[in-house]
Structure 1
Amino acid sequence: MKLGDNFSRREFIKLFGLTLGGLALSRNSLDRVFAESGLLRNPQLVQPEFPLNKTLGRICSGDPGAHFPIKSEPYWDAPEVGTAWRDDVFEWKKEVIAKQLDPIRINQRWVETEAGYIYGEYVQKSRHIPQEPLLELPESPTGEPGMWVEIVT
């Protein structure tokens, strides 16, 4: 097919079939592709449990599917011991300064986790503080039960 030709419905179906067939035969299975894109994710099925009153770290950098190295020691040339993905949450043990200064990077801060060390620029500090559900609605200034709320999923 040349660039100047019209793209017919039949050619589109052929191309779509070839693409789908190639995807099915590749190492990336369809369920993995859909899982990484988040199209088949049901947030009601997976409810992670986080420790209470502990400092947590969340990987907040990159696009969906981005991954970052977990190092054995807090410097860039240390061997990798694992991978952290975007939106991963882990227990934040402490902040440390790099053992070997990197002149390219302004930030020399690393976060120690159970798995190893993650460069601090990728991590957002947070806490897990669950809200207590209301058993009944409070009264408004007019005396009627009700209130304005924000729904967060």
Structure 2
Amino acid sequence: MSSNTRTLARPLVTAAIALTAAVGMVGCTSGGGGYAVFDRDPVASDELPAEYVERDSDLIDAGTSRLVGEHEGTRLYLVEGATGSSICLVVLPADEEGMAGCGGGGGPMQVSNARETYEVRPDGYDVPDGAVQISENVFAVEP
């Protein structure tokens, strides 16, 4: 893992978080680069719950959150990292505490909890084999 890749675990999160960034993509982009979802103006549904923002304000720039979809009752948001050079996937299941994983933004990364694994890919990447496409950039994949 590079120094641009960060694995996050919060004390109250019962799910394990795994973050993996792909190697080989040249020229990491800054937050939002390569993710068209950030080109649109935010709408009310893009807003993260206040309790999540308070807990993870050191990790994410909540003002950049974009709801990218739901998968089996779990809401998924792409958010720029607090450093401005990373992209984060916030995973908010309906029945447990949320979590986030962040990476450099230049290539694919995965975020996993006890039930599911999600892969984030910048614009223009192919759909991963066997994946369920949730948005242009977010996929549910086999762990």
Give the TM-score band, short-chain normalised.
under 0.3
Tell me the TM-score normalized by structure 1.
0.22
Larger Rg: 1
Tell me the TM-score normalized by structure 2.
0.23
Bigger relative contact order, structure 1 or 2 (CA pairs below 8 A, ≥6 apart): 2
Q: Which structure: greater strand fraction?
A: 2
